[in-house]
Amino acid sequence: MEIHNFSAGPCILPAEVMQKAAAAVLDLDGIGLSLIEISHRSKEFVAVMDKARELALELLGLEGKGYQALYLQGGASLQFPMLAYNLLENKAGYLNTGTWSSNALKEASILGNAIELASSEEKGFNYIPKDFDIPNDLDYLHLTSNNTIFGTQIKSFPTTKVPVVCDMSSDIFSRQLDFSKFDLIYAGAQKNMGPAGTTLIIVKEDLLGKVTRKIPSILDYQVHIAKESMFNTPAVFPVYVCMLTLQWLKDMGGIPAIEEINEKKAKLIYSEIDLNPLFQGYANKEDRSTMNATFTLTDDTLKDTFDAMWKKAGINGLNGHRSVGGYRASMYNALSLESVGVLVDVMSDLERKA
Ligand SMILES: *Cc1c(COP(=O)(O)O)cnc(C)c1O
């Protein structure tokens, strides 16, 4: 039976990427060696890293604009303190839109003066605060573009003169944005790019080198840039899979092409949530994420029936995050419109039966 993988992360990857990745584990491009048993300094792997870095900048439209792409370890969570190490001198401002931004703020606060500019915590993070003040003397403004757990997404980014840092872990490469408005973007690979184990960092070089503190080498973006993302052994397999996924995206027409499909998927599920009286959306309508749709049943006694129905339809990974409950349909780039159609059919079947 076909499985429809709505998992929030690690999550679905394109089938052809999985096939190519599996083949490279056995024999990389016919060299008679596995991708994971060759030196990361070999010409074969250096070419992989170079390509993965180049594709990221190309797809975001940032080639030749003073940006560098890095693939580092430690997950998006390591970036919370690392970005503060590199950028926080006097004061940083954080928009608190969920668990991940709270964590980012907490870690930066250990190093310096990181303040919360606005928060939606009082409403269970079900919306994106707008019209908040951004002081002009911030070292940077920190945003989380998509709140994976609560299902909200920033649709319109604040205009400001201060550098903008953005955690795009769960919606990078999913929609067109003017990425040159951001000074640092980071994203754990395991939501829209590849397996867990590497994190993409896109950083504008002129943002760096301004803090007075000493930075441990492994936490210093400038060291990683100088070493072309090979300061220490990179996560070779995750980087390889990211390269394949980005090539897959480029071949299908890049971000504009995937955005069109992502919008269709989001429209399909949210119209079912709104029309079907048995379901209720969690996030404020105008802030709804195209990547993670969060919803609950209006009648909890239907839970066992609904759960049995979607499992029988081959749907996987639909349970909501433990802090929110209910359901979460994660619809990353590799999830097809057909899979969302299968879920929507189950939801309308439930209405017919109830
Ligand atoms: C998943 C996620 C993280 C955490 O990523 P790790 O790689 O597990 O550290 C951070 N931010 C956002 C927005 C996420 O979705």
Query: Which of 77, 107, 149 is the pocket-test mutation for ligand 1 (most atoms within 8 Å of CB)?
Result: 77
Q: Which CATH number does the domain housing residue 162 bear?
A: 3.40.640.10
The finding on whether 81 has its CB within 6 A of some atom of ligand 1 is no
Q: Clarify whether residues 290 and 236 are in a common domain.
A: no
Q: Is position 181 annotated as part of the catalytic site? A: no
User: The whole model's pTM is what?
Assistant: 0.98
Q: Do 298 and 342 reside in the same domain of the chain?
A: yes
The residues with which 162 forms a beta bridge, in sequence order, are none
Residues 203 and 259 in one domain: no
Ligand 1 probe mutation, 107, 148, 165, most atoms within 8 A of CB: 148
Give nearest CA residue, ligand 1 atom 3: 76
Nearest-CA residue for atom 7 of ligand 1: 75
Helix (H) or strand (E) holding 342: helix 337-353
Q: Looking at 139, 171, 191, 220, which residue is catalytic?
A: 191
Both 301 and 263 in one domain: the answer is: yes
- For the domain that residue 318 is a member of, what is the CATH number? 3.90.1150.10
- Please check whether residue 147 lies inside any domain of the structure: yes
Residues 21 and 161 in one domain: yes
Q: pLDDT below 50 — which residues of the chain?
A: none
DSSP string, 193-258: TSSTT-EEEEEEGGGSS---S---GGG-HHHHHHTTT-SS---HHHHHHHHHHHHHHHHTTHHHHH
242 and 267 inside one domain: no
Q: For residue 148, report the distance from its CA to the centre of ligand 1, in Å.
A: 8
Cα(170)–Cα(276) distance, integer angstroms: 27
Asked if 248 is an active-site residue, the reply is no
pLDDT at 164: 98
In this prediction, residue 1 carries a pLDDT of 86
Say if ligand 1 is within 6 A of residue 148 CB. Answer: yes
Q: Are residues 216 and 309 in the same domain?
A: no
pLDDT single digits (tens) 38-94:
999 999 999 999 999 999 999 999 999 999 999 999 999 999 999 999 999 999 999
Distance (Å) from CA 76 to ligand 1 centroid: 5
Alpha-carbon torsion 291, 194, 55, 149, what sign?
positive
**What integer pLDDT is reported at residue 354 of this predicted model?**
82
Q: Which of 139, 167, 171, 287 is catalytic?
A: 167
Atom of ligand 1 nearest to the CA of 149: 15
DSSP state of 39: -
Q: Is residue 7 part of a domain?
A: no
Task: State which of 251, 286, 309 marks the end of a domain.
Answer: 251
Q: Tell whether 144 and 231 lie within a shared domain.
A: yes
Last residue of a domain, one of 205, 222, 251: 251
In this structure, the answer to whether residues 186 and 247 fall within a common structural domain is yes
- Per residue in 156-175, is it b (16+ CB within 10 Å) or e — as a string? eebeeebbbbbbbbbbbbbb
Using only the alpha carbons of the chain, give its radius of gyration: 21
Domain-located, residue 201: yes
Same domain? For 105 and 239 the reply is: yes
User: In which domain, by residue range, is 306 found?
Assistant: 254-353
Task: Give pLDDT tens digits for 122-167.
Answer: 999 999 999 999 999 999 999 999 999 999 999 999 999 999 999 9
| One domain, residues 226 and 317 | no
